[in-house]
Amino acid sequence: TRQNGWHILKAALPPKERRGVILIDPPFEESGEFDRLAESLAAAWKRFATGIVLLWYPIKDRAAVDGFYRRVAELASEQQPILRCELAIHSVGSDGPLAATGLLVCNPPYRFEETYRAVLDDLARALARTPAARASVTAL
């Protein structure tokens, strides 16, 4: 049966193992997806604080993404850090094709930041369409 992933996320957490990875890849077909994503992350983390949560999102509207980051930063702590990973192959614009993408990594594994930074740097160089291509990994 087809079910709404947002409802399944609530129902499936926490797993009895108390460990795991959740990948959230919303369709971004409706308005308010960043709000829904932030709310879902907060709910998931309350139920599954020991898990790793990966949130993928497109970057087409910098203001919307920055607002999302501000909401999510309130959830971060030293015990549960959040990494903001971005890859842009050319300038971001809401009219054109997808130029940049992001991945939030909540509660990243040991040494994830340095390894993923190297991977994103290589991808930015390989996929660059303009000098505006860049990659970054920063803590929220």
Rg for the chain, CA atoms, rounded? 15
As a whole number of angstroms, the distance between CA 100 and CA 80 comes to 26
d(C-alpha 5, C-alpha 20), whole Å = 17
pLDDT value at residue 28: 84
Q: Give per-residue pLDDT as tens, 121-137.
A: 999 999 998 888 999 99
pLDDT score, position 39: 87
pLDDT at residue 59, rounded to an integer = 92
Average pLDDT rounded to a whole number, residues 23-40: 86
pLDDT > 80? residue 34 = yes
Q: What is the pLDDT of residue 30?
A: 82
Token digits for 100? Answer: 């940049």
Of the two residues 79 and 16, the one the predictor is more confident about is 16
25 is catalytic: yes
Say if residues 118 and 126 touch (Cβ distance below 8 Å).
no
pTM: 0.86
Over 50: is that where the pLDDT of 1 sits? no
Mean pLDDT of the chain: 86
The upper half-sphere exposure of residue 130, i.e. CA atoms within 13 Å in the direction of its Cβ, equals 7
**Interatomic CA distance for residues 30 and 4, integer angstroms:** 14
Q: Quick one: what percent of the chain has pLDDT higher than 90? A: 41
Structure tokens that stand for 87 in this block: 């890859």
Residue from 44, 129, 119, 118 nearest 82 by CA: 44
| Cα–Cα dist 108/83, whole Å | 7
E-strand stretches of 1-140: 21-24, 52-59, 82-88, 100-106, 134-139
Tell me how far apart the alpha carbons of residues 44 and 38 are, in angstroms, rounded to a whole number: 10
pLDDT tens-digit series, residues 80-123: 789 999 999 988 766 677 889 999 999 999 999 999 999 999 99
User: At 78, is the pLDDT very low, low, confident or very high (cuts 50, 70, 90)?
Assistant: low
Question: Which among 25, 35, 66, 122 is annotated as catalytic?
Answer: 25
